[in-house]
Amino acid sequence: EAGVVQSPRYKIIEKKQPVAFWCNPISGHNTLYWYRQNLGQGPELLIRYENEEAVDDSQLPKDRFSAERLKGVDSTLKIQPAELGDSAVYLCASSYTRGAEQYFGPGTRLTVT
């Protein structure tokens, strides 16, 4: 069975440009998470979806970040416009249900110049 798929794996953009990350969770997993991980730090939860409903988005910088999970399967995280401080690894994870074991994708390493 395929794991969590993320694309792209790497992205380099100039500041003020938009960028989007895509995640395909494990089939049947109702809960989807987006994390941001800065160098030397643990993952920081940005948003959690239960099916297509966004919950726990208190850490999502809503002025420039947006996310969607149409039909409760794939998800997209967007940043517009990107800032230098957004350089990080963006991780997507999914779990069968809230509180259950999370399966992480390989992440997207974003570099903003």
Partner 1 sequence: LAKTTQPISMDSYEGQEVNITCSHNNIATNDYITWYQQFPSQGPRFIIQGYKTKVTNEVASLFIPADRKSSTLSLPRVSLSDTAVYYCLLTDSGAGSYQLTFGKGTKLSVIP
User: Could you list the residues that contact partner 1 (CB under 8 A)?
Assistant: 4, 33, 35, 40-45, 48, 55-56, 58-59, 91, 93, 97-107
Q: Shortest Cβ distance from residue 33 to partner 1 (Å)?
A: 7
Strands 53-55 and 44-50: antiparallel
**CA–CA distance, 7 with 98 (Å, rounded to integer):** 24
Of the candidates 13, 5, 7, the one whose C-alpha atom is nearest the C-alpha of residue 110 is: 13
Q: Shortest Cβ distance from residue 22 to partner 1 (Å)?
A: 15
**Whose Cβ is closer to partner 1: residue 81's or residue 103's?**
103
| Residues facing 58 on adjacent strands | none
Q: Shortest Cβ distance from residue 20 to partner 1 (Å)?
A: 19
Please measure the distance between the N-terminal and C-terminal CA atoms of the chain and give it in whole angstroms. Answer: 37
